[in-house]
């Protein structure tokens, strides 16, 4: 194992110099992927079994290609998902958004809650809810054909028969469920068109359709989510929408009382930044 440890140390130094935020972790993940073992089993790799493809992966990461594109996997809550070019790589902050929804669904006095995930991407949120909420019936909506393909793969692997994928636009999807849904959740595109993400992994590799929102403020898709949630939800149903950390107040006011919303709250991620808005449809 000495040789592999030395190679991982060298790779860590290279990745750190390239500005990779978690160089040691990424070097170990690449080593584990190339050698076909979990990270915790790297010590079992004999020197004679070292695979030189490790350095190919390190070079790709050094160029700031996302780790998830190199390994083909993204970890989200308790799931390992297939991802790659053409689909948004799920982020840790979205795990908090999904976790809030999961907690509320567990508290509902509903035997089999109906959930809609608008703009599902890799299906990370939809599948987490299906996995963690007993008897939940989850509908995942994705219009982009490439992202739809990734979602389909992940649902086939993890869907457990309770996640249905729909190739529809989030603005007018699922009219057959009008007034019947217990919770609508979405991580829609919301970056304003003029803003450029700082991280090259996001800027250069995530699909622009999943990043950049329409309209001058980038929030037209969030407005569409609000309208769709208002149409789909039963009285008392919940809406959960992720946004950028500087958009909290703007998104908060999109869920207006005159449109039937109440209990509107601006909520934070684990770093204390504004991350998502929740609202309840009036029961009157």
For 27-180, strand residue ranges (E) read 73-76, 79-82, 114-118, 137-141, 163-166
* Residues 221, 121, 169, 208, Cα dihedral to 10°: 50
Asked whether residue 189 is marked as a ligand-binding residue, the answer is: yes
249 annotated to a ligand binding site: no
- Helices 2-17 and 53-62 cross at an angle (nearest 10°) of 20
Q: Rounded CA gap, 127 and 105, in Å?
A: 14
**What count of other Cβ atoms lies within 10 Å of the Cβ of residue 232?**
25
Number of H helices and E strands in the chain, helices first, is: 11, 9
Question: Is 188 annotated for ligand binding?
Answer: yes
**Does residue 192 have a known ligand-binding role?**
no
* Residues in CB range of 16: below 8 A, 6 or more apart: 23
Structure tokens, 183: 């919770």
How far is CA 237 from its chain centroid?
A: 22
DSSP 108: S
The answer to whether 58 and 12 have CB atoms below 8 angstroms apart is no
Q: Which residues are annotated as a binding site for substrate?
A: 187-190
Q: Which residues are annotated as a binding site?
A: 142, 187-190
Q: Which residues are annotated as a binding site for S-adenosyl-L-methionine?
A: 142, 187
């Amino acid at each position: 194992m000495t040789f592999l440890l030395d190679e991982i140390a060298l790779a860590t130094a290279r990745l750190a110099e390239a500005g990779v935020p978690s160089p040691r972790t990424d070097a170990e993940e690449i080593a584990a992927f190339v050698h076909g073992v979990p990270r915790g089993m790297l010590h079992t790799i004999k020197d004679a079994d070292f695979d030189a493809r490790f350095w190919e992966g390190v070079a790709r990461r050094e160029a700031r290609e996302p780790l998830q594109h190199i390994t083909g996997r993204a970890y989200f809550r308790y799931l390992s998902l297939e991802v790659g070019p053409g689909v948004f790589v799920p982020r840790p902050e979205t795990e908090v958004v999904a976790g809030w929804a999961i907690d509320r669904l567990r508290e509902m006095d509903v035997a089999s809650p109906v959930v809609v995930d608008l703009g599902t991407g890799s299906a990370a949120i939809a599948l987490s809810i299906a996995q963690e909420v007993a008897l939940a019936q989850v509908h995942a909506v994705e219009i982009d054909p490439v992202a739809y393909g990734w979602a389909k793969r992940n649902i086939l692997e993890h869907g457990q028969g309770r996640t249905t994928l729909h190739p529809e636009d989030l603005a007018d999807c699922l009219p057959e469920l009008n007034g019947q849904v217990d919770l609508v959740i979405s991580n829609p595109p919301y970056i304003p068109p003029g803003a450029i993400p700082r991280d090259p992994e996001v800027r250069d590799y995530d699909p622009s359709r999943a990043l950049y929102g329409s309209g001058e403020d980038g929030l037209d898709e969030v407005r569409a989510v609000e309208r769709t949630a208002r149409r789909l939800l039963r009285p008392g149903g919940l809406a959960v929408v992720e946004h950028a950390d500087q958009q909290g107040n703007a998104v908060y006011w999109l869920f207006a009382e005159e449109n039937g919303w109440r209990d509107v709250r601006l909520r934070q991620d684990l770093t204390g930044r504004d991350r998502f808005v929740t609202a309840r449809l009036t029961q009157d």
